Amino acid sequence: MNNKRDHMTYRKDIDGLRAVAVLAVVLYHAGIPGFSGGYVGVDVFFVISGFLITSIILKDIHASRFSVALFYERRIRRIFPALFPVIFCSMVAGGMLFYSDSYRDFGTSMMATTLFTSNILFWKEADYFAASALTKPLLHTWSLSVEEQFYIFFPLLLAAIHRFLKGRYLPVILSLAVLSFLIGVYSTQMFRVAAFYLLPTRAWELLAGSVISLGIIPVPKRMAWKNLESIIGFGLVLSGIFMYDDLTLFPGVAALAPVAGTTMIIHSGIDTGGFLHRIFSFRPMVFIGLISYSLYLWHWPILVFVKYTVFRDLTVGEIALMLLAIFIAASASYLFVEQPFRRGKTLPADRKQLFGLALLIMAATTSAGFFIRYQNGMPYRYPEAELKTDSIIQNMSTDPQWLNFDANIREIEKLDNGGVPAVIGAENTPRVFVLWGDSHAKSLVTALSESARSFGVSGYDIAIGNVIRPLLGMETNGSPTGTEARFNQSVIDFVKAHPEIKVVILAGYWTANRRLSDVSGKYHGAPSTEQLMETGLVRTVDALLALGRQVVLVNDLPILKDDPRRFLYVAFRFNHEPDFSPIAPSFEDYQHTNRYFLTLFDTLAMRPGVKVVRLESMLYDKNQRLMVMRQGASLYVDDDHLSTIGSKYVSPLFDPVFRGIAFPSTTLHTKRTSNLEL
């Protein structure tokens, strides 16, 4: 993603192509309609980078002037000057705005970004497409880390091929590219997040550019063929930008379009380009391409910090002002930071001094990140805002309902191999029910425990998380093939093996935006996700009814529009009285979002042995306003999970479920109330 013009013929059209790539990324992140696949701009950058860097290295090798030290000197002069001001400014802005948890995580990302391992960190932490990205101002540096990891070994590889294989570059590069692509295709199906972030699944994109730089593929001599190749290539790039979205299985096979398209554009412009290359060479396009590195670096932190403090959709005017601020910051960075450093007017000319300075900067930034992490996000920055927030809402790490979530997941993942789920409800009583679902089911553990205890019964907690819903025969695209279907079948087998179980409670994130596949082979045609959801759920209900069990379907809880903890902290930080209405969906919103499943559940409830529990009936007040907070305590622990207090509050809704299966000799005649008692 950097402008690399040394030791090779400068091509304005490549800067224009950079402009297309960076604009796609910026407009995608800004939420501009029509750019749902703008993230493929990063893939365009990878190809350009592979082409230019390989061209530079090979020219140096063939001129007998290549050295690893020289290569990294150039990388430092290009990468460091623009990168570290962004890290520093993000540290200052985060220190002013972030709640301690988010700032602690930012400290970790500072260290990872400085050491060019942020792609590994963000792979472990979260999904690129998740809302939690709003607390990660350095998230976009994952692509920079991929490039720098690639360039650790690639120059040495080219030098070794030149020396020991007499310059037979194509077989080696092509073999590595094919291997990387196959790993990417497999990983995208099995481990989508890892495939998105890690070098082994992305290397082929850089290597595709390397293949073009070898000059082995014949360039069309006729301008008509050049124009055709570039137009087809640009069409492939645009297809990714405009037709892909967050649900596209990516990178994998889907990455072929933008990668192949970019290689075709670059290849067709060798020697003399056609009319598309002349368009890319227009001065405004070239200028955007020249500032593309700074533009890429600055756009995401600015977007994050603006959206972090605004809990609503930005107006068109606000988006325009934000984009203007991004372009001003990028232009200033290019003119007053990148250019002076590249010309050698600021950084030391002596290589040893340059490396020493680079190490000093990296050590200082890493130490600052470590300090922020070690100090747990420095909650003493704004202690009053922290204390007020903590008094209202707990973290999952401290909320009692969530303390043993991961431990139970590890146990129930072995359900088909002797795993024993956690028991909830009354102690030393018959296990007469099962809670089955994902983390939305888990958020009901306290509710079920409270109700079950009052009726002297207990049951098993088989809430696994990861949006693995109780849908027999279905898989979420991008999850390890067969794992969901196998797990859900193991739950059915568990219920069958325990005849004392009388009731199975099904809960989940029913409206989660995940594409499904039917791995049972029984569904034909091209069904929608909702149709597959219905098919999987009906299979589950049918299987349970066939086993003689009662089935309880739980309507999903209302999903907040934003993180309530961040909302509270920002309100207290700026001395505002928190009013949750900006992030609380109206009752009409809830009904619209859940309309398909509300109707489906009501239809299934017409069957004997099937009941529906309506969480929304207690979470909306008589004026149909969502109760995010009650008596000074949050009913939510984040945007889509109930806290222990919230779960306890909705507990009476499950009394009718357990009243019918209570054992008279063990029933506890505890007074039940719909009022929250603190």
Domain boundaries, the chain: 12-381, 400-557+586-616+642-659
* pLDDT the model gives residue 481: 61
Furthest CA-CA distance within the chain? 92
Q: Where are the alpha helices (DSSP H) in 221-335?
A: 223-243, 256-268, 275-280, 283-290, 292-309, 316-333
CA angle, residues 532, 538, 541, in degrees to nearest 5: 145
> What's the CA gap between 535 and 524, in Å, rounded?
11
* pLDDT the model gives residue 672: 52
- Does domain 400-557+586-616+642-659 correspond to CATH entry 2.60.40? no
Q: How far is CA 635 from the centre of its chain?
A: 26
* pLDDT the model gives residue 405: 86
> What's the CA gap between 509 and 433, in Å, rounded?
20
> What's the CA gap between 506 and 537, in Å, rounded?
9
* H/E segment holding residue 205: helix 199-213
* pLDDT the model gives residue 351: 85
* pLDDT the model gives residue 404: 86
* pLDDT the model gives residue 526: 72
* CB < 8 Å & 24+ apart, contacts of 60-63: 60/7, 61/158, 61/159, 61/162, 62/162
Record the tokens describing residue 571, joined without a space.
């309100």
The residues near 409 (Cβ < 8 Å, ≥ 6 apart) are 464, 465
> What's the CA gap between 452 and 433, in Å, rounded?
9
Query: Average per-residue pLDDT in the chain?
Result: 90
> What's the CA gap between 100 and 545, in Å, rounded?
48
Direct distance between the N- and C-terminal alpha carbons of the chain, in angstroms, rounded to an integer: 55
Against a cut of 0.75, is the pTM above it? yes
| DSSP tag of 313 | P
> What's the CA gap between 235 and 258, in Å, rounded?
9
Q: Give the total residue count for the chain.
A: 678
Distance set, CA 40 to CA 21, 240, 301 (Å) = 8, 6, 19
* pLDDT the model gives residue 6: 39
* pLDDT the model gives residue 600: 96
* pLDDT the model gives residue 662: 64
Number of Cβ atoms within 10 Å of the Cβ of 618: 20
- Burial of residue 592 (number of CB atoms within 10 Å: 0-12, 13-18, 19+): exposed
Ranges under pLDDT 70 in the chain? 1-8, 126-132, 344-345, 478-482, 523-524, 662-678
